[in-house]
Every structure is written in structure tokens, then in C-alpha cells.
């Protein structure tokens, strides 16, 4: 009887599972901009049935331009909603300012959204925290003020709302260590210090499971990734455990830095940034299933995985077929060219441009009619993103392709409807040059 019950449950889960994949480190194109999502150092808030992702716009580098907001109903396809804060002519949000790690919390007492963020001068000498408020999660926010929390330096920051509704600010005090500060009932004022770690960590994020608090943080190595650590406690005021690694040792947290831990159903998703300091706009997002059990946290790498947003179940992506760009039908000026890092040593180049080069995969197989995620391995030698239209059975999706950075091909993902049986996927330019296409990887189911 027991095994029958389990089998029924797992069938239900797979039936409700979307096949859309989270592909860490890939270009993630917003559904309505055709550009790589700019929400770095961000966090996610669920309001009603939707998730809202708030983060930094790095389109033009380090200096503050926008705090962006995107919405999604499945945590995979994101729609750009607008900016919560935009550069002003002077002041904290003026030119040549640093604003990082924006995190939004909803205050039930005041019905306001409260945004805390790191506020700094371009040389990071001010070391302050700033706060803004909004009436709707993705609307325009009003900037309130900045300060040094309780008089101490503050650089990387985060927020945490406990089950009882109390709000906390997480703040990195370079001289004294990482801190948890309590916030007032309206979340707008810092009232007291709750805990200080003597050890030096930054990029803090808290999650709670089974009465155990987990504080995640990175070591201090600038934009470069390191092995991130966690500490646990049954009370925010401590005592907190010693720090332990949660990702494979030596992997530098799969080349990422913690920014937020998102509870989804009964599970938790790690959100990290893979910063590219030489060209911050092409930094990507490393989102992975995080296992919290008792007082231990662990995380394995996964190239492509599927999230059930209802239950929080996280599973490996379906098995895939791979189709090479150079053996696809090449039309217009598109042609096969050598590429040392590509599978088969070749790619399809000259996509787009004045000769309208296109790569057409004429017989892409799917075992069922489904919406799924296609990975495109590509090269783009420019310093800015290229765009192409990925046309699946006649339906076009504008897709961005970040610079690959001179190494092996990079990945871009596109979420498309496939029919059962044979499908046509065509990659074509939009006027300028599209990417060189190494190959596409297509789930079978």
C-alpha cells in the first residue's frame, strides 16, 4: 500500500512539473526586452502568485543607473517591469555612485515595500546602508536616506523577515565583522545589534528550516569567487556555529557569490552571482537546489535542472539530443567555420548581417508536445550582447547572446513550444550579426 501511494504521488509531481529549465551561467533573455536580464546582486519576493526579482542594472558598468524589477510566474521566464529607483542628477542616487545588493521586504503593518541597499561613493569609502519605500512591489520607490548602521561601516547587505514578521538587516562591517541588526516594526529604522561574527564574511543571506537559522556568506575576495560558507543557530542572537562550506570544496561555490536564498515550496534555491568584473553587464546568475537538513547545508552543481514551483521539488533536466550548427542547413551568408572550442571543431558563422545568414535545424525531435528549454552553445567575440531570432515552427523568440569571453562557447537559453515528433528551429539575425552557433541541446521530453 505504501509503495502504491508513493508511486501515485511521484506521478502527480511529474505531471505538474514544468519542463522549463534553470541553466546557471547562461544568457537569460527577458521575455519583453530581448536583452540579458540585469538584476545582479538581487533577491526575489513572492507577492500573490507571482515572483518579483529585484537587482542591479549593470548595463553600463559599476556606477548606479537603475534598480530593476522583473516578474515571473515560474521563476524561469522573466518579464521586465521597470526600475524601482533610477539615477538622479545628484545625491545618493546621483552620477558615479555605487548602489548594490538591493533587497525588498513587504511590511504588513504599513502595507509598504521596503528596499534596503548598499550605498557608496565610487571608491567604496562611504560604506553606508540606504532605504527606500514603495507602494507596489515593482513600482517607483521613494528614496528615504542613507546612514552607517549604528555608526558602523556597511558594505554588502541583505535582509531577513522572520516567521513572526520581525525584520532584520544583514550588514558587513569590515572593521568588526558581519552583523545582524534588528529593524523597527515599520522596517525603516535600525534599532539594535543582534549579533556580530568576529570572522570576516560578506554577501550575507539567511534561510530558516525546522527552527534552524542558516546564515550564508562569502569570503572577501572582491569580484572573484571563493568557497562560500554557512553558520547555523536556533536563535538569531546566537550562539552561532562555526562556519562550514556548503558547495564542493575548491569549486569557488561553482564560480559564484551568494546573493539570496529563496524558499520555494518545501525547498530552497541558492541564488548567486558569477561576476565578470571586466564587463559587469555580462555577469550571469547561478541558481541551484540547496539542501537544508538539520543543521547541515549542501549544494551540488547542475548544468540544467527543473523546478516545480508548487512543491519546491528540483530534478535534473530531461535527456537531450544535440544538433551541430555546422551540419544544419545554412542559408544566406551563413557558413561552417573552424572553432577550436566547439564540439566537432566547427560552428556555423556569419549568422545575420547583410547577407541574412540563418542556421536551420530541420528535424529536431521531441517525444511530446511541450514547452521546454533549448540551450544554444554560441560564440560572440564582441564586448556587448548580440541578438538573434530563434524561430520554432514559425514562432519567433528574440534572444540575447552574451559575449563568450574568449574561451569555450557560452550558453544562451530559449523557452519554446515543441510539437511531438519533428520540429524546425531556425536561428536568424535581426539586422546586425547574430552569434556563431556551435550546437543546440534539445530535451526529448
Which set of grid coordinates corresponds to residue 21? 529549465
Give the shortest CB-383-to-ligand NAG separation in angstroms. Answer: 13
User: Alpha-carbon distance 200 to 258, whole Å?
Assistant: 15
Give the shortest CB-141-to-ligand NAG separation in angstroms. Answer: 17
Give the shortest CB-243-to-ligand NAG separation in angstroms. Answer: 37
Q: In sequence order, what DSSP letters do the residues of 54-117 get, joined into one string?
A: EEE--TT-SS--EEEEEEESSSSS-EEEEEEEE--SSSTTSTTEEEEEEEEEEETTTTEEEEEE
Handedness of CA 17, 22, 23, 27 (dihedral sign): positive
Give the shortest CB-24-to-ligand NAG separation in angstroms. Answer: 24
Long-range contact pairs involving 48-56 (C-beta distance under 8 Å, separation at least 24): 49/73, 51/75, 52/81, 52/104, 52/137, 52/138, 53/78, 54/84, 54/102, 54/103, 54/104, 54/115, 55/102, 55/259, 56/99, 56/100, 56/101, 56/102
User: Alpha-carbon distance 285 to 83, whole Å?
Assistant: 19
Pick 93 or 372: Cβ nearer ligand NAG? 93
Give the shortest CB-269-to-ligand NAG separation in angstroms. Answer: 27
Pairing of strands 212-218, 229-233: antiparallel
Site of interaction with ligand NAG (CB under 6 A): 57, 59-60, 65-66
Give the shortest CB-130-to-ligand NAG separation in angstroms. Answer: 19
Pick 36 or 426: Cβ nearer ligand NAG? 36
**Residue 138 dihedral angles phi and psi, to the nearest 5°:** -110, 20
Pick 57 or 100: Cβ nearer ligand NAG? 57
Pick 59 or 298: Cβ nearer ligand NAG? 59
Pick 59 or 241: Cβ nearer ligand NAG? 59
Pick 59 or 73: Cβ nearer ligand NAG? 59
Pick 33 or 430: Cβ nearer ligand NAG? 33
Give the shortest CB-40-to-ligand NAG separation in angstroms. Answer: 12
Asked if the bond preceding 294 is cis, omega within 30° of 0, the reply is no
User: Alpha-carbon distance 408 to 27, whole Å?
Assistant: 15
Give the shortest CB-33-to-ligand NAG separation in angstroms. Answer: 11
Pick 60 or 235: Cβ nearer ligand NAG? 60
Q: In sequence order, what DSSP letters do the residues of 20-54 get, joined into one string?
A: -EE-TTSEEB-TTTSSB---EEEEEEEETTEEEEE
Amino acid at each position: 500500500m505504501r509503495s502504491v501511494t508513493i508511486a501515485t504521488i511521484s506521478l502527480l509531481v511529474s505531471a505538474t512539473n514544468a519542463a522549463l529549465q534553470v541553466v546557471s551561467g547562461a544568457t537569460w533573455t527577458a521575455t519583453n526586452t530581448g536583452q540579458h536580464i540585469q538584476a545582479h546582486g538581487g533577491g526575489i519576493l513572492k507577492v500573490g502568485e507571482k515572483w518579483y526579482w529585484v537587482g542591479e542594472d549593470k548595463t553600463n558598468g559599476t556606477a548606479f543607473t537603475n534598480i530593476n524589477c522583473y516578474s515571473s510566474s515560474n521563476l524561469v521566464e522573466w518579464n521586465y517591469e521597470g526600475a524601482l529607483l533610477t539615477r538622479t542628477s545628484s545625491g545618493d542616487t546621483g552620477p558615479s555612485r555605487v548602489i548594490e545588493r538591493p533587497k525588498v521586504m513587504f511590511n504588513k503593518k504599513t502595507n509598504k515595500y521596503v528596499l534596503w541597499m548598499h550605498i557608496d561613493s565610487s571608491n567604496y569609502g562611504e560604506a553606508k546602508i540606504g532605504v527606500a519605500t514603495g507602494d507596489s512591489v515593482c513600482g517607483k520607490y521613494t528614496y528615504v536616506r542613507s546612514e552607517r548602521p549604528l555608526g558602523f561601516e556597511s558594505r554588502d547587505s541583505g535582509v531577513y523577515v522572520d516567521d513572526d514578521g520581525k525584520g532584520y538587516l544583514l550588514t558587513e562591517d569590515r572593521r568588526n565583522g558581519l552583523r545582524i541588526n534588528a529593524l523597527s516594526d515599520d522596517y525603516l529604522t535600525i534599532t539594535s545589534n543582534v549579533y556580530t561574527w568576529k570572522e570576516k564574511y560578506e554577501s550575507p543571506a539567511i534561510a530558516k528550516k525546522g527552527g534552524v537559522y542558516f546564515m550564508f556568506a562569502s569570503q572577501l575576495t572582491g569580484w572573484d569567487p571563493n568557497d562560500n560558507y554557512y553558520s547555523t543557530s536556533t536563535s538569531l542572537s546566537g550562539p552561532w556555529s562555526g562556519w562550514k562550506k556548503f558547495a564542493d570544496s575548491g569549486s569557488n561555490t561553482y564560480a559564484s557569490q551568494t546573493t539570496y536564498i529563496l524558499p520555494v515550496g518545501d525547498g530552497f534555491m541558492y541564488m548567486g552571482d558569477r561576476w565578470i568584473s571586466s564587463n559587469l553587464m555580462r555577469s550571469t546568475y547561478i541558481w541551484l537546489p540547496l539542501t537544508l537538513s538539520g543543521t547541515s547545508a549542501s549544494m551540488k552543481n547542475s548544468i540544467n535542472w527543473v523546478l516545480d514551483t508548487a512543491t519546491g521539488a528540483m530534478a535534473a533536466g530531461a535527456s537531450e539530443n544535440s544538433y551541430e550548427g555546422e551540419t544544419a542547413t545554412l542559408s544566406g551568408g551563413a557558413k561552417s567555420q573552424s572553432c577550436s572550442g566547439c564540439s566537432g571543431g566547427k560552428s556555423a558563422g556569419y549568422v545575420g548581417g547583410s547577407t541574412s545568414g540563418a542556421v536551420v535545424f530541420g528535424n529536431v525531435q521531441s517525444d511530446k508536445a511541450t514547452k521546454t528549454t533549448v540551450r544554444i552553445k554560441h560564440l560572440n567575440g564582441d564586448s556587448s550582447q548580440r541578438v538573434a531570432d530563434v524561430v520554432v515552427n514559425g514562432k519567433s523568440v528574440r534572444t540575447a547572446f552574451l559575449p563568450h569571453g574568449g574561451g569555450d562557447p557560452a550558453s544562451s537559453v530559449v523557452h519554446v513550444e515543441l510539437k511531438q515528433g519533428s520540429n524546425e528551429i531556425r536561428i536568424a539575425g535581426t539586422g546586425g550579426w547574430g552569434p556563431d552557433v556551435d550546437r543546440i541541446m534539445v530535451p526529448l521530453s
